[in-house]
A = this chain, B = another copy of it.
Amino acid sequence: MAPTPQTLTAERILEATEEVLRRHGPAKATVVDVARVLGVSHGSVYRHFRTKAALREAVTKRWLDRTTDTLSGIVTEGDRTPETRVRDWLAALYAAKRHKAAGDPELFATYSVLAGESGDAVHTHLADLLGQLTRIIRAGVEAGDFTAPDPATTARAVFQATARFHDPGYARDWELPGAEEEFEAVLELVVRGLRS
């Protein structure tokens, strides 16, 4: 609650870590830097996070959860058709990732590094997103709008088919001219493939 809390908490460490990552980038950010920002010794940071990898994963998880939370609202918009929700959800995912990549490149690089290291935070993030997409597709099947023998498998296929527009490995292409049109074309193809 206090604007300048004196006790060292996991939350304060995560905020300082984001700051350091933004300033120095993932390759140069050290635990000593984080401790310096907080005005404590680096030993204290290790009281809250067992390793540097755990700290990086925690800060990344926090960052990924922001996207998951943004998208979760679209899943349950009962007044819209499942097709519209699939479109909106994928468009929102693309927009969120693109915005993050452009606006927060240092942290985005960290996320990409962790994704490559197959960290648990990323694995969970992907499972969360797939779960959301599965719910929309299942609703579409129940409404008779979509055909999908196994909604989870189909959701995975939709996710893979649009990977180019949310996988961080393709981030450099997201701002290229024509990217938006290509997204629309893939989205159209995928939605047509879902329809009964």
- Which residues of A are at the interface with B, using a C-beta cutoff of 8 A? 153-154, 156-158, 160-164, 169-170, 181-182, 185-186, 188-194
Contacts and interface: CB of A to CB of B under 8 A. Distances in A.
A157 B169 contact: no
A interface: dominant SS: helix
A161 B192 CA distance: 13
5 contacts: A157-B186, A161-B189, A189-B194, A191-B193, A193-B193
A38 B182 CA distance: 46
A109 to B, nearest CB: 16
A156 B169 contact: no
User: When A and B form their complex, which 10 residue pairs have the shortest distance between CB atoms, in order from nearest?
Assistant: A193-B193, A157-B185, A161-B161, A192-B193, A189-B193, A157-B189, A157-B186, A160-B164, A163-B164, A160-B186
